[in-house]
Amino acid sequence: MAHLIAEVVYRGIFQKNLAARITRGIVLSARKAGRWGIAFGRYGDSPQRNGVPAKDFAIVADTKEELEQHMARYQPKELHVTICVDDTLCKGVESWAWYGLQPINRLLLPNGHLLVTSTQSADELLKDAHKKNTPYSLWILPGKASLAGLWVYKEDHTEVRVLGALAKIAPQILSLQAVAEAIREADWGSDLKVESARKAYERVEGRAVKITEGNPETPYSFEMPKWWEMREGVTIPSLPIGKPIEGGKGYRPERSTVFKKFSTRTMRPVIDFDTCVKCTLCWLQCPDSCFDVTPEGLYDANMESCCGCGICEAVCPVGNCITMVNEAAFDNNASQWDMWRKDKDAYKVWLGAKITDKVHVARSHGFRYRGQYEQELASGELELGGAALASGIPGENADQKGLKPSAHEDKSSSIVTGVAEAPGG
């Protein structure tokens, strides 16, 4: 009797098809050894929305009866493997429903496995992933977050690389040979993809995580009210209007205390307060009322409520005032304005490091112009999801910023240092 329960934590739209391919791949690979399985998505999620964290699941078992015993309709209670296909989700998962923030490793069984596709080190990821009261293993498959899963699937081999890595993690259920066979039979399979899976099998590396390791923060939670505690008439309090701060010189809008949105974020705005011309455009255009007005008339993006849409950067008329930077470059949601106010020189150094860090800036949270994805793939290693994008998102002020779409072309070969990988060499 053996069974395996795995989840894929992914980002809405960008990775929807990717997650479905991985969970289907798990079931079809396990089937090669005569096992039974199901693959399904969490119905309460909203994977049609950009970047919103969502989950797919795969459950496989030796017999149909054993499978039924472990089947769940919405979400399994515990898992052997969590697969995280965007390392910024290690900061936690807030579903579209109001569950509070779930640690990425929340559902893992003792000695379970967390597999992350990432260019970060284990130590860096453990600054994000919350502490867990049982030990588990953290596996890293080198690669950046795949953006392959839009409505039309673009191949970057992430799905087969994850399946190859799983064969290393759970060989008793998924042999590498079975994975290879399933990939070859898939209508999206190829010999090249089998090769990518084998390389991933070799390349994935794991290490034990102790109960003392991890982000010590307690993730915010939300207690579900009883039926008789809820206001009747499908009625909830609206957000009140905001309050003046700093003796009336500044202003802070009220924000939801139960739905924070920031786990949707893959990039965050980094603000150079010294170049800000106080035009108010970021504050006006932000769809989530993220910006506090500071006493100086500057605008401080609140990182608890920012979903990282990038509109502020796009509308900012100043060249280097707002820069979207990969969320992976940050370990907390602290106020940038507070940092700037306390030590302007230190802030300048911090800011410079963030916006010039090519590894971390190299991120897109969607495609801003036609052909961007092809451009990325063409300029980097296919199995790692292509190469870096230059910083900046072209918006209505792209011209002033020198950010025409063509300016995004990046000739560097890979964001990952080290030996080039298959395919092709």
Partner 1 sequence: MTVATQAAPAAAQEQEMLISGSEAIAEALTLADIDVVTAYPIRPYDTVMQAIAKKIANGQLVAEYIVAEGEHSQFEIVKHASTVGARVFCGSSGVGWAYAMECLVVTPALRVPLVAMVGNRALDDPGAFGVEHNDALFVRDLGWLLCWIDSSQEALDTTLIAYRVAEDRRIFLPIAISADGAFLTHSQAITKVPSKSLVEKFLPPYNRGDLQLHPDNPITVAPQVNEDWVIEIRRQNNAATERAYTVIEEAYADFRRVFGRGPENPWFEEYMTEDAEVILMGMGTLSLPVKVAIRKMREEGKKVGLIRLRWFRPFPYEQLAEALRKAKAIGVIDRDYSFGSPFGSGVVATEVRAALYNAEHRPPLIGFICGLGGREVTLEDVYKTTEICYSAAKAGKTERATYWLGVRE
The Cβ of residue 13 has, within 10 Å, a number of other Cβ atoms equal to 20
Q: How far is the CB of 231 from partner 1 (least distance, A)?
A: 7
As a whole number of angstroms, the distance between CA 264 and CA 89 comes to: 8
As a whole number of angstroms, the distance between CA 143 and CA 149 comes to: 15
Residue closer to partner 1, measured from CB, 231 or 342: 231
Binding of partner 1 by 216 (CB under 8 A): no
What character string, x for contact with partner 1 (CB under 8 A) and - otherwise, covers 44-63?
x-------------------
H or E stretch at 384? none
Of the candidates 34, 216, 240, 248, which one interacts with partner 1 according to CB under 8 A?
240
Residue closer to partner 1, measured from CB, 98 or 188: 98
CA 202, chain centre distance (Å) = 24
Binding of partner 1 by 230 (CB under 8 A): yes
As a whole number of angstroms, the distance between CA 219 and CA 105 comes to: 12
As a whole number of angstroms, the distance between CA 11 and CA 76 comes to: 19
Which residues lie below 8 Å from residue 171, measured CB to CB, with a gap of 6+? none
Contacting range for partner 1; rule: CB under 8 A; set: 85-93, 135-143, 230-238, 333-341: 230-238
Contacting range for partner 1; rule: CB under 8 A; set: 144-152, 172-180, 228-236, 305-313: 228-236
What character string, x for contact with partner 1 (CB under 8 A) and - otherwise, covers 73-112?
-x---------------------xxxx-------------
CA distances from 378 to 18, 75, 200, 373, 388 (A): 20, 38, 21, 9, 11
Binding of partner 1 by 227 (CB under 8 A): yes
Binding of partner 1 by 151 (CB under 8 A): no
Size of the site for partner 1 (CB under 8 A): 23
Binding of partner 1 by 287 (CB under 8 A): no
Which among 129, 42, 56 has a CA at the least distance from the CA of 87?
Answer: 129
CA atoms within 13 A on the CB side of 177: 3
Strands 267-271 and 322-326 come out as antiparallel
The Cβ of residue 304 has, within 10 Å, a number of other Cβ atoms equal to 14
Of the candidates 235, 247, 287, 418, which one interacts with partner 1 according to CB under 8 A?
235
As a whole number of angstroms, the distance between CA 42 and CA 57 comes to: 8
Residue closer to partner 1, measured from CB, 98 or 220: 98
Cα dihedral 134, 135, 137, 138 sign: positive
Contacting range for partner 1; rule: CB under 8 A; set: 64-72, 146-154, 238-246, 288-296: 238-246
Contacting range for partner 1; rule: CB under 8 A; set: 117-125, 183-191, 219-227, 365-373: 219-227
Residue closer to partner 1, measured from CB, 231 or 411: 231
Of the candidates 1, 34, 43, 216, which one interacts with partner 1 according to CB under 8 A?
43
Q: How far is the CB of 232 from partner 1 (least distance, A)?
A: 5
Binding of partner 1 by 234 (CB under 8 A): yes
Contacting range for partner 1; rule: CB under 8 A; set: 131-139, 159-167, 223-231, 260-268: 223-231
Which among 65, 23, 63 has a CA at the least distance from the CA of 40?
Answer: 23
Residue closer to partner 1, measured from CB, 96 or 283: 96
As a whole number of angstroms, the distance between CA 413 and CA 381 comes to: 7
Which among 119, 125, 153 has a CA at the least distance from the CA of 138?
Answer: 125
Binding of partner 1 by 228 (CB under 8 A): yes
Which residues contribute to the site for partner 1 (CB under 8 A)?
43-44, 74, 96-99, 224-228, 230-240
